[in-house]
Amino acid sequence: MAVLDHISSQEAMALENKYGAQNYHPLPVVLSKGKGVYVWDVEGKKYYDFLSAYSSLNQGHCHPKIVNAMIEQAQKLTLTSRAFYNDMLGKYEKFATQYFKFDKLLPINSGAEAVETALKLCRKWAYEVKGLDLNKAEIIVCENNFHGRTTTIISFSNDPVARKNFGPYTEGFIKIEYDNLKALEDVLSTNENIAGFLVEPIQGEAGVYVPSDDYLIKAKALCEKYNVLFIADEVQTGIARTGRLLATCGNCSCESKDCSGTPDVKPDILVLGKALSGGLYPVSAVLASNE
């Protein structure tokens, strides 16, 4: 099939509707070009891109520094698999862990994969470090959350569309009201099998719900009090989307608000994605301490 030099909006939408899986409902705009904060449709109409691919493009469309770095590496080496070492992975891991002030990093692809990995890490910690009975660990999540669309993640979603006809669902999660410290402590104080608390610093899919100013600090303090892991899903809010390096920084006690190292609110496990690659490549990461 020859590559089409030009296609109308109606033709593009018709092709996608006919041959693509109907798992999404896009707006009727067909984009063909982007630069910085702007995008253009196939008819040449210019738009501001306030959506930024759900925060994947915090650095802007087609940032030349990122594009050039990708081209340079792609012309040298594209893939090795983890069967071998390569000369770039360690450099990336060192830079990212030092930048965000963690000990270890696991690079992955999608944000949902990163959340799943964080859940696995939390459970493993609960059995091997905290000493919970095997297969008894539970993780607290919030109502109206959005952490992805994998089978485990939709198991604790409130979205009926995301859950319909995809059961049976994964067990081991307790849902509480977001921005409700009493609800959090009620579960922590009565359930000795809690391994962690997974939370979005700002709920995105729920309508950009910003919690109370002291919510994250006090939630972190409760997690420390009851010896459970505080897991921050910053896939959408991270990498300066909120004006801070991380959204959790907006609740820390440091004056500069430019780091993730303040003990008051630093997550035990940090989940990043989307803007981590500038929107050019699917990259996510889970960061944690050596413990």
Strands 138-142 and 194-199, how do they pair? parallel
Range from 1-15, 25-39, 118-132, 262-276 carrying the lowest mean pLDDT: 1-15
Instruction: Work out the average pLDDT over 195-199.
Output: 99
Confidence of residue 257 (pLDDT cuts 50, 70, 90): low
Cβ atoms of residues 197 and 248 within 8 Å: no
Would residue 233 show up in a list of annotated catalytic residues for this protein?
yes
- The residues spanned by each domain of the chain are 88-288
Range from 201-210, 225-234, 252-261 carrying the lowest mean pLDDT: 252-261
- Whether residue 35 has pLDDT greater than 90: yes
> Which is the catalytic residue, given 173, 197, 230, 233?
233
What per-residue confidence (pLDDT) applies to 149?
Answer: 94
What per-residue confidence (pLDDT) applies to 262?
Answer: 58
Percentage above 90 pLDDT, the chain: 84
pLDDT in tens, 22-34: 888 899 999 999 9
Instruction: Work out the average pLDDT over 43-67.
Output: 95
Would residue 274 show up in a list of annotated catalytic residues for this protein?
yes
- Whether residue 255 has pLDDT greater than 70: no
Residues 6+ apart with CB under 8 A from 25: none
In the block, tokens 């010896």 appear at 227
Cβ atoms of residues 182 and 218 within 8 Å: no
C-alpha to C-alpha distance for 157 and 144, rounded to whole angstroms: 7
C-alpha to C-alpha distance for 268 and 100, rounded to whole angstroms: 12
Residues 6+ apart with CB under 8 A from 45: none
Instruction: Work out the average pLDDT over 80-88.
Output: 94
Q: Which residue has the higher pLDDT, 106 or 252?
A: 106
CB atoms within 10 A of CB 23: 6
HSE-CB at 122 with a 13 A cutoff on CA atoms is: 33
As given in the structure block, the two tokens for residue 191 are 């359930």
> Which is the catalytic residue, given 146, 173, 197, 230?
146
Range from 22-26, 200-204, 207-211, 283-287 carrying the lowest mean pLDDT: 22-26
Give, in order, the Cα–Cα distances in Å from 13 to each of 30, 48, 123.
Answer: 7, 21, 43
In the block, tokens 């940090």 appear at 270
User: pTM for the full model?
Assistant: 0.93
Confidence of residue 2 (pLDDT cuts 50, 70, 90): very low
C-alpha to C-alpha distance for 62 and 169, rounded to whole angstroms: 39
Residues 6+ apart with CB under 8 A from 146: 157, 159, 200, 203, 204, 205, 206, 236
DSSP element (H, E) containing 40: strand 38-41
Confidence of residue 269 (pLDDT cuts 50, 70, 90): very high
What per-residue confidence (pLDDT) applies to 1?
Answer: 42
- Secondary structure class of 55 (helix, strand, coil): helix
Cβ atoms of residues 129 and 291 within 8 Å: yes
pLDDT in tens, 208-231: 999 998 999 999 999 999 999 999
What per-residue confidence (pLDDT) applies to 68?
Answer: 97
CATH number of this structure's domain 88-288: 3.40.640.10
Output phi, psi for 20, to 5 deg.
-95, 150
Cβ atoms of residues 197 and 230 within 8 Å: yes
Closest among 130, 98, 144 to 224, alpha carbons compared: 130
Instruction: Work out the average pLDDT over 19-23.
Output: 91
Average pLDDT, the chain: 93
Confidence of residue 256 (pLDDT cuts 50, 70, 90): low
